[in-house]
Amino acid sequence: MFARLAERAGTEPGDRVLDIGCGTGALTRAVAATVTPGGGVLGLDPAPQMVEYARRRAARRGEHSEFTVGAAQEIDAADGSFDAVVTSFAVHHVRRDARGRAFAEMFRVLRPGGRLLVADFRAHAGHYEEMITAAGFTDPARGRVRPLAHWITAIRP
């Protein structure tokens, strides 16, 4: 499922990608395979234990991913630093009153023309499109990756 979501993100070799709410790093690692050579993925998660687990797992496998502690609504990165932002099964963990800010931060850290992929359970994914467009993203598209991921993609103009 994560490999199919990584394909949906439209990343290419050389891209710099941010995975928000990376957890164990499953999507981070899947996306990393699509951006090498020359690219990289930074996994961001608010739980230090998850970041440490993801780091250890990537190191054991010899994968080229970085991981750091941080929150979706306060991303410590410069404007326009990423070619793509991905997130899977994480936005529903962000406080409801902070989700709009999280999408605004995703917009801020993407370069113009950058791509957003948000995957979540169906009940949650359906609520994100309005916040995504309110943050400034365009060209939203929706779909499903079985068994349980519903995705939304969008572009930063």
Residue 124 above 70 pLDDT? no
What one-letter code names the amino acid at 138? T
Phi-psi region of 62 (alpha: psi -120 to 50; beta: other; left: phi over 0): left
Residue 126 above 70 pLDDT? no
Q: Looking at residue 27, what is its pLDDT?
A: 95
Q: Looking at residue 127, what is its pLDDT?
A: 81
pTM for this predicted structure: 0.94
- The CATH code of the domain that includes 127 is 3.40.50.150
If one counts every other C-beta atom within 10 angstroms of the C-beta of residue 151, the result is 20
Place of tokens 């929706």: 142
Q: Which residues pair with 86 in a beta bridge?
A: 19, 117
Instruction: Report, as an integer, the average pLDDT of 64-88.
Output: 96
Q: Which domain holds residue 114?
A: 2-155
For CA atoms 65, 67, 72, 75, the dihedral sign is negative
Domain count of the chain? 1
Confidence of residue 146 (pLDDT cuts 50, 70, 90): confident
